[in-house]
Amino acid sequence: MTTSREVAGPQTVRTIGDDAARSGAERASSVAQLDRPGDLGYARDSLPPTLTALAVGVVLLALLPLAYLLVRAAGASPAAWGLLLQPRVLAIVANSVLLTLAVTTASIALALPLAWLTTVTDLPGRRAWTVLTALPLVIPSYVGAFAVLAVFGPRGALQELLAPLGVERLPEIYGFFGAWFTLTLFTYPYVLLTLRGAWLRLDGSLEDAARILGHGPWSVWWRVTLPHLRPAIAAGGLLVALYTLSDFGAVSLMRFNAFTQAIFVQYRSSFDRSLAALLALVLVAFTLALLWAEQRTRGRARTSRAGSGSPRPVRQVVLGPWRWPALALVAGVVALGVGLPVGVSALWGVRSWATGESLTPLLRPMAHSLTAAGLAALATTAAALPIALLAARYRHPLVTWLERGSYVGNGLPGITIALSLVFFGARYAPFLYQTLPLLIFGYAVRFLPEAVGSSRASLLQVSPRLEEAARGLGLSPWRAWWRVTWPLARPGIAAGAALVFLTVMKELPITLLLGPTGFKTLATEIWSATAEAFYARAAVPALLLVLASSLSIGLLLKEHER
Amino acid sequence: MLPQLPRVSVLLLLSAALSVLVGCTTLQPAPSNPTAAAATPVEQPSPTAAAQPQQLTVYSGRNENLIGPLVEQFRQETGIEVSVRYGDTAEMAATILEEGKNSPADVFFAQDAGALGALAAKGRLQPLPAEILQQVDARFRDPNGRWVGASGRARVVVYNTDRVTEADLPDSIFGFTDPAWRGRVGWAPTNGSFQAMVTAMRLLHGEDAARAWLQGMIANDVKVYPNNSAIVEAVGKGEVDVGLVNHYYLYRFLAERGESFPARNYFTRAVDAGALTNIAGLGIVDTARNRDAAERFVAYMLSTAAQKYFAEKTYEYPLVAGVAADSRLRPLTELQTPNLDLSRLEDLEGTLRLLQEVGALQ
């Protein structure tokens, strides 16, 4: 592929050059101007054998839950198949689709301004807001929903506050609105974090070039910035959609009849794993449909830099008087997404203090949480890289299917993944069953897409020709990747690791079913207390969960900024 | 030059190091329960315990906050090392079924008779010895002797004391279909105890009566909650005036929020499905490696010490004669429970179909 073809490409404005930079990358990319055969970009035919083998191995393991579902569904009676086509099943399918679309749209709409404010503007306290706006992701959805209800529910805090003004009833929170509100509030960070990774990697000189060519601010945004951010938005949006699809905690507390409810009824009430498996397969079909839709949005645009020179950070936007409404927006979202659950937990804590509840030492659960989340982030990111690299660089049917395969587990409820690994673990790997490695494996299967999506989006921004040039200068493929691509893509890859870390911190069903016996985490402690209405005992682990996560996310995001 | 070791690597290395530490402590069998250890002074296992401590694995659908201290007492008294895996009752049952022959579980401690019945029906529980079974009234154990109840849980009506008095309440839950109760009642149709009650209703009063009641409740704008504690919470706030729940949740709220919490229990006067008493109970899994220790664990849960614990700490009904229930409860002997074999509650299929048919469940 030649540079001239790049320039003629549709979609994006290319840079003309930026002479400010002095780095290895610059030397590398100037060599890239030469028309070399064996270009790494968008090869349609041959895939690199080692990378492909690695990716195939990872995806096969990630498809274990699907294999389990097929085994179980094969045992379903013919009558069960008929049950799938009942009108009420179709009605809850419609419910779930509607909720998924609404939450995804709202999350993107919320994450875009937040990401912009916390990456490219001079918002006061920007670094602190960066951490705080990512934090709602660690709130378990049942805790989040509980907090939302405590404030906005009938007879909640807000109604009590407004009661002197004669407000007897608030608008109904239960149902679609409550589920939509809660899920948006606690999942938008998926988009925010992937988006930040992309924004930080964006080459400011692209926007400058567009301005020089006479485009106004809106035109630059629509024709330059947004197209470059689109893979990240789509990747984050997909994670939001899959989370919404697989969530049970928030929809059940908000009394919204989503599809997961039907699956849980089968597990919990009739112990019918075959019918539950059939229903879960419907979720797999959903997931594939969502992936197909996401892939349609990708189009054929390229988002890596084509020009020479190293990228220049995007110009900082001076907010001026606009910083006040901006602050109000960010503070408002943080107050709802972090302040609300923390406040409710603190209230539980005050009660426990008042009733003399002993505050049990929670160092061990905290160490377990950090360990499990840290190892899961590491393992999942490592497993995701081969898939992300292939997906970013090659157009090939196998690659498309590998990427889709890696997402299958994410649309399933955690309990389904957990039971599938119980099935395979106890039967075929008893020496690994109920050990830390299998637990980490379970997390990796469930959260693989969080790392794949984010890594792929950031790798797309690194021109394959840089790596190619490094190889032209005599580096081996691995060294070229390590010296050139990895440092450039690292912020986005770190964002993916952060996503995995935060979601593992709150994960429950896999931890309960696959962890070593007696392996308690902060999330299982919160569950253990709230499940039997010992709310006071949930306070300390809930607050520690937020605290430990915010410290960790602070570290990860610093990495992100470099 | 290699890039400087980034912070993310430091963080991950740190957690890897932590994991080695944690691995050393947790991967060993039978970690003791720190909550319970803090609550009761730790003693050395009694010298009578075998030189080689026995191992026991319990899968518990009962919460650690409820039985953790009891398990610790058992460990101290017998010297048997117990590992307990906590989870949701139905999910634990599903786990044992999925594990097949390699299940590490010796004992299953379930929150309701339905899950025990499901395991027994699949041949996954072994018969218990007669001396264990005989301690409990035949109403509260499996007729085939594969599981035994350890504590009783009664269905009651919880009501808001600011808005309703006991005299206003109907004799039976069938009375809540009256238009006077429109929009004032809460229920939890996804809850296992509720579904067991509907199963009992079908068995005692017939399919049509159960359907008519469910339809009447829905027509009367019954409010749906995810579980019992959410109902008690909502009744306390006055979101609904009454709720259909298990009896013991209220006493935990009272212990936590104080006596001013404006809700109390009402034991319905009529002897019907609305007054069902279900159990939490135990069974020994067919793949149990240590049958002797498993039997001792089950027997311990029926001991006077354990029965007293259920009465005083979890506010449930002790099921072994000679231990009195909490004084705020109507005594078990006076509790007009309907005459129903609890093992018949194991088949929930018909109940689920009915709940779905009337639109109470999706």
Task: Report ipTM (2 d.p.).
Answer: 0.80
Give the nearest chain B residue to A347 (CA atoms): B257
Residues contacting residue B311 through CB under 8 Å, at least 6 positions apart: B317, B318, B323, B324, B325, B326
Min Cα distance A512 → chain B (Å) is 6
Min Cα distance B131 → chain A (Å) is 30
Min Cα distance A245 → chain B (Å) is 16
Chain A residues within an 8 Å CB radius of B103: 426
d(CA A344, CA A38): 59
Tokens read off for A315: 């110009």
Chain A residues within an 8 Å CB radius of B8: 494, 497, 555-556, 559
**CB-CB neighbours of A239 under 10 Å:** 29
Domain extent listing, chain B = 153-276+350-358
Radius of gyration over alpha carbons of chain B, in Å? 23
Q: Do B94 and A374 touch (CB under 8 A)?
A: no
Closest alpha carbon to A258 in A267, A245, A270, A269? A245
Give the nearest chain B residue to A92 (CA atoms): B362
SS3 of A260-301? HHHHHHHHHHHCCHHHHHHHHHHHHHHHHHHHHHHHHHHCCC
Q: Residue A534: which of B8, B26, B65 has the nearest Cβ?
A: B65
Residues contacting residue B213 through CB under 8 Å, at least 6 positions apart: B173, B174, B177, B201
CB within 8 Å of chain B, chain A residues 144-163: 153-156
Q: Residue B252: which of A371, A373, A533 has the nearest Cβ?
A: A533
Residue of B2, B4, B5, B8 for testing the chain A interface, max A β-carbons within 10 Å: B8
Q: Do A253 and B226 touch (CB under 8 A)?
A: yes
Q: Do A261 and B232 touch (CB under 8 A)?
A: no
Tokens read off for A45: 């035919």
Give the nearest chain B residue to A516 (CA atoms): B27
Q: Residue A267: which of B85, B90, B103 has the nearest Cβ?
A: B90
pLDDT tens digit sequence for B80-116:
999 999 998 888 999 999 999 999 999 999 988 888 9
CB within 8 Å of chain B, chain A residues 407-426: 415, 419, 422-423, 426
**CB-CB neighbours of B66 under 10 Å:** 25
d(CA A75, CA A144): 37
Q: Do B83 and A518 touch (CB under 8 A)?
A: yes
Give the nearest chain A residue to B2 (CA atoms): A483
State how far the alpha carbon of A399 is from the alpha carbons of A391, A443, A493, in Å: 6, 23, 19
Q: Do B239 and A153 touch (CB under 8 A)?
A: yes
Min Cα distance B242 → chain A (Å) is 15
Q: What is the pLDDT of residue B46?
A: 44
Min Cα distance B338 → chain A (Å) is 22
**Which residue's structure tokens are 């290699």?**
B2
- Dihedral sign (CA A387, A391, A395, A399): positive
Amino acid at B329: L
Superfamily of domain B153-276+350-358: Periplasmic binding protein-like II (3.40.190.10)
Min Cα distance B191 → chain A (Å) is 8
Chain B residues within an 8 Å CB radius of A556: 7-8, 11
pLDDT tens digit sequence for A321-356:
888 999 999 999 999 999 999 988 888 777 666 655
Q: Residue A532: which of B11, B63, B362 has the nearest Cβ?
A: B63
Helical segments of A408-472, H only: 414-428, 436-460, 464-472
Query: Do residues A181 and A256 touch, judged by C-beta distance below 8 A?
Result: no
Percent of chain A with pLDDT over 90: 30
Q: Residue A375: which of B15, B104, B238 has the nearest Cβ?
A: B15
Min Cα distance B108 → chain A (Å) is 14
- B137 burial via Cβ count (<10 Å: 0-12, 13-18, 19+): middle
pLDDT tens digit sequence for A5-33:
333 333 333 333 333 333 333 333 333 33
Closest alpha carbon to A121 in A334, A331, A313, A312? A313
What are the backbone dihedrals phi and psi of residue A94, each rounded to the nearest 5 degrees, phi first?
-60, -40
pLDDT tens digit sequence for A115-165:
999 988 889 988 889 889 998 988 888 788 888 888 887 777 777 778 777
Min Cα distance A266 → chain B (Å) is 9
d(CA A190, CA A238): 9
Chain A residues within an 8 Å CB radius of B112: none
Query: Do residues A375 and A367 touch, judged by C-beta distance below 8 A?
Result: no
Encode chain B (362 residues) as per-residue pLDDT tens digits.
334 444 545 455 455 455 444 444 443 333 334 343 333 443 444 444 445 668 899 999 998 888 999 999 999 999 999 999 999 888 899 999 999 999 999 999 998 888 898 899 899 999 999 999 999 988 899 999 999 999 999 999 999 999 999 999 999 999 999 999 999 999 998 887 898 899 889 988 999 999 999 999 999 999 988 788 889 989 998 989 999 999 999 998 898 788 899 999 999 988 888 888 889 999 999 999 999 999 999 999 999 999 999 999 889 999 998 888 888 888 887 776 677 777 677 667 788 888 888 888 76
**CB-CB neighbours of B79 under 10 Å:** 17
B157-166 exposure pattern, b = at least 16 Cβ within 10 A, e = fewer = bbbbeeebee
